[in-house]
Amino acid sequence: MRYTIRLGMTQSYLLPGDAGYLLIDAGPRGRADAFFRALRRYGIDPGQIRLIIVTHAHFDHVGSLHAIRQRCACPVMIHEAEAGLLSRGQVVLPPGTNPLTRRLIRLANRHPRLIKRWFRFDPVRPDHVINGPLDLAPYGFNARILPTPGHTPGSLTVVTPAGLAFVGDLAINTLPAGLGPYWPPFGDDPDLIRAGWRTLREMGVTTLYPAHGRPFKAEKLPL
C-alpha cells in the first residue's frame, strides 16, 4: 500500500517494499510529530521505514529529516550534488522561473540572515550518496532512482515499474484542475527541467507525484 503524507506545504510519500517502507522527502521544519501521527494512523511503526530518499536539499524537503531519521533509525540517501548542503544545513534559494518569483528571490537575497533563519534546518549526514541512476532492488524496493537535475543540480526522481514517478519539485501541481503549467516556481535550469520531463515521458512514466500538489498524468506535461 502506498501512502501520501501531507507535511505543511510539502507531501512525502511512503512506498512499500520487501521488509518495510521507503520514505521520499521529509517535509518542512517542525513536522515530525505530524509525520509520526500519520504513521500511527496507517498502522506503521517508525522502525518499518527502511530508507529515506531526499529528492533535493531544500528546506521544505529536509526540515524535519533530522527528527524523523532519529526515530526511524534508517539510512538517508541523496545525490552527491546536494549532500554537502544537507550535512552543513546550508540554505540555498534557487532562482525564480517567472517574473514574480525572480523578483521574490532578488528581494530575499538582500536579506541573507533572515533567509537563513526562516528556512533553517538541522544538518543531517547522509548515509548513501549517489551520483547516477540506481536500482533500489538491493535495498528491498521495486523501484529505481533517476537523477533529474533542473530544479536543483542534484534533484532525484523515484520511478516504479508501474510507471509512477515521485518527482520532488521537478514539477508541481498546486493550481485547480487543469489550470496552469507544471513549472516549479523556482529552479536552476528550465532547459534541464524540460529535459527531465521528456525523459520521464519517453521511459513510459504514466503519472507524476509532485511534492507540491496532486498527482497528474504525464501526458499533461506541456512539452
Using CB under 5 A, which of 22, 24, 39, 60 touches Zn ion?
A: 60
Q: Which of residues 39-58 bind Zn ion (CB under 5 A)?
A: 58
Residue nearer to Zn ion on the CB measure, 139 or 148: 148
Residue nearer to Zn ion on the CB measure, 61 or 69: 61
Site membership for Zn ion, residue 69 (CB under 5 A): no
In contact, 76 and 128? CB cutoff 8 Å: yes
Q: Which of residues 138-177 bind Zn ion (CB under 5 A)?
A: 169
**Cα separation, 85 vs 176, whole angstroms:** 33
Stretch that binds Zn ion, among 60-68, 112-120, 129-137, 141-149 (CB under 5 A): 60-68
**Cα separation, 121 vs 216, whole angstroms:** 30
In contact, 193 and 155? CB cutoff 8 Å: no
In whole angstroms, how close is the CB of 125 to Zn ion at the nearest point? 21
In whole angstroms, how close is the CB of 165 to Zn ion at the nearest point? 16
Residue nearer to Zn ion on the CB measure, 58 or 66: 58
214 contacts: CB under 8 Å, gap ≥ 6: 173
**Surface-to-core class of residue 99, CB atoms within 10 Å of its CB (0-12 exposed, 13-18 middle, 19+ buried):** exposed
Sign for the CA dihedral angle at 216, 217, 218, 220 comes to: negative
In whole angstroms, how close is the CB of 25 to Zn ion at the nearest point? 8
In whole angstroms, how close is the CB of 54 to Zn ion at the nearest point? 11
Q: Which residues pair with 6 in a beta bridge?
A: 11
What 3-state class would DSSP assign to 79?
strand
Distance of CA 148 to the CA centre of its chain: 11
Q: What are phi and psi of 149, to 5 degrees?
A: -65, 165
In whole angstroms, how close is the CB of 133 to Zn ion at the nearest point? 21
Size of the site for Zn ion (CB under 5 A): 3
Residue nearer to Zn ion on the CB measure, 32 or 44: 32
Binding site for Zn ion (CB under 5 A): 58, 60, 169
